[in-house]
Structure 1
Amino acid sequence: MKVIFPKETQQSILAILSLSYDIAEASSLSFLLVEHVFGWTRTSIIINSAHTPTLAQQNLLDSCLVRLQNQEPIQYIIGMADFYGRTFHVNEYTLIPRQETESLIQYIKAYQAWSQPKIADIGTGSGCIPCTLSLEMATSEVHAYDISEEALSVATQNAQALGCSSIQFHSIDILHDSLAESGFDLIVSNPPYVLQSEKNTMHANVLEHEPHLALFVEDDNPLVFYKVIARQAKTALKPGGVLFFEINEQYGNPTEGLLLSLGYHHTQIHLDIHGKDRFVSAQWG
């Protein structure tokens, strides 16, 4: 293999990716890619020492470039995504953790002075929410639920890697099964909330690669998951227990109205980092 240099290699990758992405995103992707393939940090690129790539590295680089040109998210390509200052394993069976969802953690932490809360997360995906809550709060017990066995496998791996292996994971179809546990201080859920009709507004990297099971809900019943979870939470929460949802920005008021109609109180809509209605909280009992 011929000798290559980090700076020139990163710039060549940037030129290729600029044909498919805007320059800022292409630049970010190029740095992530050379770190993934060659282990080069930005400091390595500045130093720019000569490197002889292995055949495996060259093949990996070629494969990753093709996948990026096909709009596959970089997180799936490198198998990792950052959330709340920690790195989580992800794959095609899990949604990629969003920066917006980090605000959910902040709202929960600030909601009240929690004292060793018992927590449930419904629709756990990669496990980023229960793992983060377990590490950020002095929890007494954490349960995480998902319909996807593949997602639960990833979530379990993340819990073990992050040192919160005491989280209990459960396979459940929340639309048809009941929670077996109760006495929760907090139930949190980021369920499917993207309308089928919104598909034509979505980026290809999401629509063509992230799991539709975790994304979409039928247009004629957009609050179906919220209705089911909120009804179950009435018996699963302790008196005074709290419910937190991530929501479609269009449905802040309807979700709040739903919770009030079911007997919840102290309902509140919370904004995400873009100033959009993104979370709803409510108290039971």
Structure 2
Amino acid sequence: MTLKEFKEHFFKRLSPLYPNQEIESFFRILIETYLGLRNIDVFLNPDKKIKLKKLDHLLAARERLVLFEPLQYILGQTEFYGLNFALNPNVLIPRPETEELVEWALKDADAETAARILDIGTGSGCIAVSLAKNLPLARVDALDVSKEALHLAQHNAQINAVEIHTLHQNILETGRFDKQYDVIISNPPYVRNLEKTEIQANVLNFEPHLALFVENHDALIFYRKIAELAKSSLNTSGRLYVEINQYLAEETRSLFEENGFKNVELRLDYAGKPRMIKACL
């Protein structure tokens, strides 16, 4: 099969399921990953034959896209904050709004200080590794309830040539942390079950529900626990950063204020949605 023929088949198969712009993006990323080619190469040499083994990979990826499997899981990798991360279905796919949370924490940080940082619910390690990469003097702990996630986070630290310290804990069952921290940061589960109707199939059917959803009647369970633990584990001038549910922004802000946090700042993401909170004791 030639490049031109594959592209035609690729678009024909996916056009009933995805917008053309998204299909174009899928195609560009797949031919770059599996063939080492750019779009311009397809344009300049449309009759170039695709080797059979490479074609098998491309066709298999196409069929997984038909089932709405996220491209990041198909490729086993993604990019976050300018760094490369290995990825698998044991962890969430990092989102752009989480990059904004990292950016906020880094802007407040002093790169010359050996800060102690804790990332709660680290998943792929995207937050922990990005902070460690940009704050070389910091000591970064990465906590998760999933051993599989912690193995992947440690692997991603190695990929990006940084050191993180993993902690296998369920924070809902944790009384207090053994250490004091200058920064605690978290993107905990916050999507209510009632919001599942808003979730796209590629997320709902493939990403780990343990890292996504909370019960409708107790949607702030993780924030309440994080507030409790941070009160005893943050240093006097320490800072807490969390990603939040946009529909529960005011309730989450109030929760931290009621737990004794000062200067609780709610920030909008680039889409104008309330998605992040910073709080100090």
**Normalised by the size of structure 1, how large is the TM-score?**
0.93
- Find the partner of 2:37 among 34, 37, 40: 40
Deviations 1:131-183 (A, max 9, x none): 1111122442000001111111111111000001x200111111112454322
Q: CA deviation at 1:86?
A: 1.5
Give SS of 1:31's match: helix
User: Which AA in structure 1 matches 2:171?
Assistant: I
Give SS of 2:99's match: helix
User: Which AA in structure 2 matches 1:161?
Assistant: I
Give SS of 2:217's match: coil
User: Paired residue for 2:125?
Assistant: 127
The answer on whether the counterparts of 1:183 and 1:236 sit within 8 Å (CA) in structure 2 is: yes
User: Paired residue for 1:29?
Assistant: 26
1:259 aligns with 2:238: no
User: Paired residue for 2:265?
Assistant: 268
User: Paired residue for 1:176?
Assistant: 173
Give SS of 1:209's match: coil
What is the distance in 2 between the residues matched to 1:139 and 1:195?
38
Query: Structure 1 stretch 25-34 or stretch 184-193: which is displaced more?
Result: 25-34
What is the distance in 2 between the residues matched to 1:120 and 1:273?
25
User: Which AA in structure 2 matches 1:153?
Assistant: H
User: Paired residue for 1:232?
Assistant: 229
What is the distance in 2 between the residues matched to 1:254 and 1:111?
25
What is the distance in 2 between the residues matched to 1:86 and 1:6?
30
What is the distance in 1 between the residues matched to 2:227 and 2:128?
19
The answer on whether the counterparts of 2:87 and 2:152 sit within 8 Å (CA) in structure 1 is: yes
Give matches, 1:35-114, under 5 Å: 35-48=32-45, 50-111=47-108, 113=110
Q: CA deviation at 1:35?
A: 2.3
1:200 aligns with 2:194: no
Q: CA deviation at 1:268?
A: 0.3
The answer on whether the counterparts of 1:6 and 1:44 sit within 8 Å (CA) in structure 2 is: no
User: Which AA in structure 1 matches 2:44?
Assistant: I
Q: CA deviation at 1:269?
A: 0.1
The answer on whether the counterparts of 2:91 and 2:207 sit within 8 Å (CA) in structure 1 is: yes
Deviations 1:83-120 (A, max 9, x none): 11122111100100101111111211223546332100
Change (3 A) 1:60 1:228: same
What is the distance in 1 between the residues matched to 2:265 and 2:177?
28
User: Which AA in structure 1 matches 2:138?
Assistant: S
- Find the partner of 1:17 among 8, 14, 18: 14
User: Paired residue for 1:151?
Assistant: 149
Note the aligned Cα RMSD (angstroms).
1.7
Q: Give structure 1 stretches of 5+ with no counterpart.
A: none
User: Which AA in structure 2 matches 1:19?
Assistant: P
Q: CA deviation at 1:260?
A: 1.1
The answer on whether the counterparts of 1:119 and 1:139 sit within 8 Å (CA) in structure 2 is: no
Q: CA deviation at 1:42?
A: 2.6
What is the distance in 1 between the residues matched to 2:106 and 2:235?
18
Q: CA deviation at 1:57?
A: 2.1
What is the distance in 2 between the residues matched to 1:112 and 1:69?
43
**Normalised by the size of structure 2, how large is the TM-score?**
0.94
Q: CA deviation at 1:235?
A: 1.3
What is the distance in 2 between the residues matched to 1:136 and 1:52?
43
User: Paired residue for 1:116?
Assistant: 114
User: Which AA in structure 2 matches 1:90?
Assistant: L
What is the distance in 1 between the residues matched to 2:48 and 2:156?
33
Q: CA deviation at 1:36?
A: 2.8
The answer on whether the counterparts of 1:182 and 1:235 sit within 8 Å (CA) in structure 2 is: no
